[in-house]
Structure 1
């Protein structure tokens, strides 16, 4: 997912976020009065989501979309106050479990979760969402056709998940019936439906962030109808079933979505979402952020789908109440090396080569590209400020953040790989092309050639950098993805584990470069078994230091999200992990 942002001694005691939100955006009912129902919310943007299936959804746009039609046991609230978006809230669960209310065992390894009454699938006829539907959701995380990028969170936490997933990996990935049969014949020891309205989770060890894990979109309930389709296949995408306020009424891949009201949803069963607009129309295929911005300003559209405000427009919009800079503490973008590439004699597998390239990048130029210092700050660590385990460091310093091509050339010459040509695919939406061109210029100054290729199909993540076979074939050498943590607060595992745990490398993995250091893997295990969040933060920090010593990536920017809404949008409340406003909460004048 693309995201962009305490001191180690405090662990995660405070979220001292480095970038300050500003601008308008509106909270609650606004000065215009109470919310008004009706009309069509018009959203315009570039690329379709890589994954629409909740099991494998993995992008900020996907997170914002599935929030409208797929519900989880727990969730976080939308708010323009960042601190209010951090705590976990009950969603389909009737209440937050705790040791005090008896829903968490004394040893912290068993969670009993009771479901809220009245949550319904919009099936024909409508029927209740059951505990077994959540069990099915967890089983589908490890399906061989489109496995979840987040499955590592649960394999390392839930009893029996590892064995279940290993077995599922051997099933024919093209056979929906075989996958459904495996799910029916095999259970995850630590995920059980006690009855229709009660779930019981058993953990390998206590996990202080387990409720955060149960709030992630991959863990949404899955209806039994999904067993008929290969996960995330065109067939499933055409037949999504909703238990949220909206339903996907029409989907044209790569072209558009039309969401309409789900007749089975009731407001009194949903403490997280509301429903005001009649329809949500998402129109894709517009790669130019300037054109999208123009449409919103002229009233032809209401929100941008997958593009921040174009950098050129920011100076004139600073005092416009429709413009806002929202906190999304993130590593976005960062430069990742394909450690498995055979190109250049396998040069990128040589740590000394990667360390030399760390000195090439001019971060000051990238800050200008994305909108200046009010939007982004230079980043030199894997973990951004405002996230568990962060501690300021700059292991590869350059003068004024502008790169040091001389040092890069000097170090590169010592490696015996002085002449490199790197394949560099880039996203075409937003400012990604400008970012790629800036990085390519920096590498050129270091004597490194690049072959830039535009990914116009919206498959940058799913087909290009998240496919190990393509990495091993050398179809790419470097790329500039982004990463926003899946949650904030006690969130060390939401950065280091998905991006750098070598044991999770495989299809759909977000460890794009295939990095695998047994010492880092051991630190991940140490953090996951730590008795408290502060001790875990120490392990995350040590992992950060090792990863940077290995130069697995080049962190670039800690970036906030610039966002603009049309004059008729009110009640716009931000979801940092989706880098957008909550479509279910806003209303139109």
Structure 2
């Protein structure tokens, strides 16, 4: 694919460029965006890339590029402040909401299960005439997440079904509605309620939760929770017709959308600056030009000034090296939250007398991998940091630890051989040969060969199976039958969290909760530990973030003790910009610069 993808969708789609240089935790960005001079308004921000958004509809958009556009035209209750400081940029802040609800201000009930959110008056849709965004629009936006149309359903709906009372039952009923009938979709949506979601009045929304959730505001800050105007009832979600009739409540509105070719945004006359503390909206317009397949050619346009920013391309490694050497201030390197790639074990495989289910065998592989060499494949340790935990730095619950240490992360073959000998004795196998399925794109073949060489040095043979990125997930890792049949033993997928900071749920639940095993699961290979599952449950219902953090740490440590996978690295996000771009602030959810705060030199 050509777009960077986040979170749960990334599990199914990370590949060619999706996370080739995606974000990771580990400090503040080193870009100099503290531009001198007085900001000026005007001009068109020019962005160049290869592909289109996955979905333009905020109910279903699940890529970083879709999120970067949504910030400009589709405001939600909560968001994040764009900042080149990781800590500042990972905190939930009010957007349409008047404040962040707490128990102290009455926004969160004493039992942590009821959230009352007040909305700013004056945030308006660009309808004729303009009208306020109201609580019913928030309710409608969340109801749309479970629409039955496969092109418009939301990959993030699970977060809301897990937390909001009645959401799961509502979605089950919605699945039975005719998928291509806009009227049938709207009739179900308007004729059925979610018991835990209500509009108390025009500017107050009430959420009732199944249990306390210290990350519920993070979930509401995702683009999936964007309000939806009543006009959307006329269209099948994210249909071609929908994409030509988007309605904006942000500083910009979509003025032109040509699939796979161009997306233009212009000023929204209904936007009131006094209602928006997050967006300065300096530029008059934003133009995304697609169809630029070559990362090098796209980057050359940015360097020449005929384009201002890259869209879905990773910055070429040679460009990064050159700009770092010359201390070019147009290069920024930023943190985020990912584990990419990682080595997953197929616990269900019958191969080698079920060797992958043996702890000692898996621990041996932990010692074998040279993570320093893998970082070099992606451009070196300046932009890729070896990882030895589930959670990366910057995530709630992260605690530095390495229970399988090796000098400079280069692997310990002697320790691998000794541990492997114990494991093979327990399994009753004299020689171990593992089926290693890998993606035939980007750096994945090089990563595969490096790991295979490490395993060979330890005495483990590998049978390498090449596949496309789509088949990698769909026909191997997330498919139940091939996994149980032993079509793969090890594989190296990637993962990017759906939000920054308080995001342990977005790592541990989809990747390591054993109760999620099954067709389409992102718990690849079905690791299932009752101890880990219990810790996850306790963390999810914790009443304070501090309590949750301690439990997430314990779960992280248990997963590593179980050698459930081998974390390789966290990858930083390099970004470049043209000479005329000023005030380039990093958006941790979009993994790109925030278009709404950039100003351009004349």
TM range (shorter): 0.7 to 0.9
**In the alignment, is residue 539 of structure 1 matched against residue 551 of structure 2?**
yes
Looking at structure 2, the residues matched to 239 and 469 of structure 1 have their Cα atoms a distance apart, in angstroms, of 40
Summarize deviations over 1:223-249 as a string: whole Å, max 9, x none.
233334444444444443322222333
**In the alignment, is residue 451 of structure 1 matched against residue 465 of structure 2?**
yes
- Note the C-alpha offset of 1:170: 4.3
Please list every run of 5 or more consecutive structure 1 residues that lacks an aligned counterpart in the other structure.
6-16
**In the alignment, is residue 195 of structure 1 matched against residue 201 of structure 2?**
yes
Number of equivalences: 568
Looking at structure 2, the residues matched to 186 and 55 of structure 1 have their Cα atoms a distance apart, in angstroms, of 18
Looking at structure 2, the residues matched to 229 and 340 of structure 1 have their Cα atoms a distance apart, in angstroms, of 43
8 Å Cα contact 1:427/1:460 also seen in 2: no
Partner of 1:71: 75
CA separation of 1:114/1:20 partners in 2, compared to 1, >3 Å: closer, same or farther?
Answer: closer
Aligned residue among 493, 496, 503 for 1:480: 493
CA separation of 1:320/1:100 partners in 2, compared to 1, >3 Å: closer, same or farther?
Answer: same
CA separation of 1:223/1:438 partners in 2, compared to 1, >3 Å: closer, same or farther?
Answer: farther
**In the alignment, is residue 361 of structure 1 matched against residue 369 of structure 2?**
yes
**In the alignment, is residue 418 of structure 1 matched against residue 455 of structure 2?**
no
3-state SS, counterpart of residue 153 of structure 1 = helix
8 Å Cα contact 2:98/2:120 also seen in 1: yes
Partner of 1:53: 57
- Note the C-alpha offset of 1:395: 3.7
3-state SS, counterpart of residue 156 of structure 1 = helix
Summarize deviations over 1:523-560 as a string: whole Å, max 9, x none.
22201222322221222122223333444432111222
- After superposing the two structures, state which structure 1 stretch, 503-512 or 357-366, moved more: 503-512
Summarize deviations over 1:408-431 as a string: whole Å, max 9, x none.
776886655833333322554xx5
CA separation of 1:19/1:475 partners in 2, compared to 1, >3 Å: closer, same or farther?
Answer: farther
Partner of 1:246: 252
3-state SS, counterpart of residue 82 of structure 2 = coil
Looking at structure 1, the residues matched to 348 and 77 of structure 2 have their Cα atoms a distance apart, in angstroms, of 38
Partner of 1:560: 572
Looking at structure 1, the residues matched to 135 and 217 of structure 2 have their Cα atoms a distance apart, in angstroms, of 16
**In the alignment, is residue 277 of structure 1 matched against residue 289 of structure 2?**
no
- Note the C-alpha offset of 1:286: 4.0
Partner of 2:213: 207
Partner of 1:31: 36
Partner of 2:13: none
8 Å Cα contact 2:247/2:253 also seen in 1: yes
Partner of 1:388: 396
Partner of 1:223: 229
Summarize deviations over 1:417-456 as a string: whole Å, max 9, x none.
833333322554xx5665456456556764213233454x
Looking at structure 2, the residues matched to 143 and 354 of structure 1 have their Cα atoms a distance apart, in angstroms, of 42
- Note the C-alpha offset of 1:47: 4.0
8 Å Cα contact 2:497/2:503 also seen in 1: no
Q: What are the equivalent positions in structure 2 for 1:309-324 lying under 5 Å apart? A: 309-318=315-324, 319-324=327-332
Looking at structure 1, the residues matched to 513 and 569 of structure 2 have their Cα atoms a distance apart, in angstroms, of 22
3-state SS, counterpart of residue 200 of structure 2 = strand
8 Å Cα contact 1:152/1:497 also seen in 2: no
- Note the C-alpha offset of 1:566: 0.7
8 Å Cα contact 1:134/1:219 also seen in 2: yes
8 Å Cα contact 1:149/1:510 also seen in 2: no
8 Å Cα contact 1:147/1:507 also seen in 2: no
Q: What are the equivalent positions in structure 2 for 1:23-422 lying under 5 Å apart? A: 23-24=31-32, 26-27=33-34, 30-39=35-44, 41-144=45-148, 145=150, 146-318=152-324, 319-337=327-345, 355=363, 357-403=365-411, 407=416, 416=429, 418-422=432-436
8 Å Cα contact 2:361/2:424 also seen in 1: no
CA separation of 1:529/1:136 partners in 2, compared to 1, >3 Å: closer, same or farther?
Answer: same
- Note the C-alpha offset of 1:346: 8.5
Looking at structure 2, the residues matched to 382 and 43 of structure 1 have their Cα atoms a distance apart, in angstroms, of 34
CA separation of 1:444/1:176 partners in 2, compared to 1, >3 Å: closer, same or farther?
Answer: farther
Looking at structure 2, the residues matched to 53 and 228 of structure 1 have their Cα atoms a distance apart, in angstroms, of 14
8 Å Cα contact 1:4/1:333 also seen in 2: no
CA separation of 1:461/1:449 partners in 2, compared to 1, >3 Å: closer, same or farther?
Answer: closer
CA separation of 1:421/1:233 partners in 2, compared to 1, >3 Å: closer, same or farther?
Answer: farther
TM-score normalised over the length of structure 1: 0.84
8 Å Cα contact 1:329/1:387 also seen in 2: yes
3-state SS, counterpart of residue 509 of structure 2 = helix
3-state SS, counterpart of residue 420 of structure 1 = strand
8 Å Cα contact 1:333/1:480 also seen in 2: yes
Looking at structure 1, the residues matched to 349 and 293 of structure 2 have their Cα atoms a distance apart, in angstroms, of 29
8 Å Cα contact 1:121/1:129 also seen in 2: yes
Looking at structure 2, the residues matched to 236 and 355 of structure 1 have their Cα atoms a distance apart, in angstroms, of 51
CA separation of 1:321/1:56 partners in 2, compared to 1, >3 Å: closer, same or farther?
Answer: same
3-state SS, counterpart of residue 495 of structure 1 = helix
- Note the C-alpha offset of 1:66: 1.7
- Note the C-alpha offset of 1:475: 8.8
Q: What are the equivalent positions in structure 2 for 1:426-437 lying under 5 Å apart? A: 428=442, 434-435=446-447
CA separation of 1:461/1:50 partners in 2, compared to 1, >3 Å: closer, same or farther?
Answer: farther
Looking at structure 1, the residues matched to 133 and 304 of structure 2 have their Cα atoms a distance apart, in angstroms, of 42
Partner of 1:10: none
- Note the C-alpha offset of 1:194: 1.7
Looking at structure 2, the residues matched to 517 and 557 of structure 1 have their Cα atoms a distance apart, in angstroms, of 24
3-state SS, counterpart of residue 264 of structure 2 = strand
CA separation of 1:118/1:51 partners in 2, compared to 1, >3 Å: closer, same or farther?
Answer: same
8 Å Cα contact 2:358/2:423 also seen in 1: no
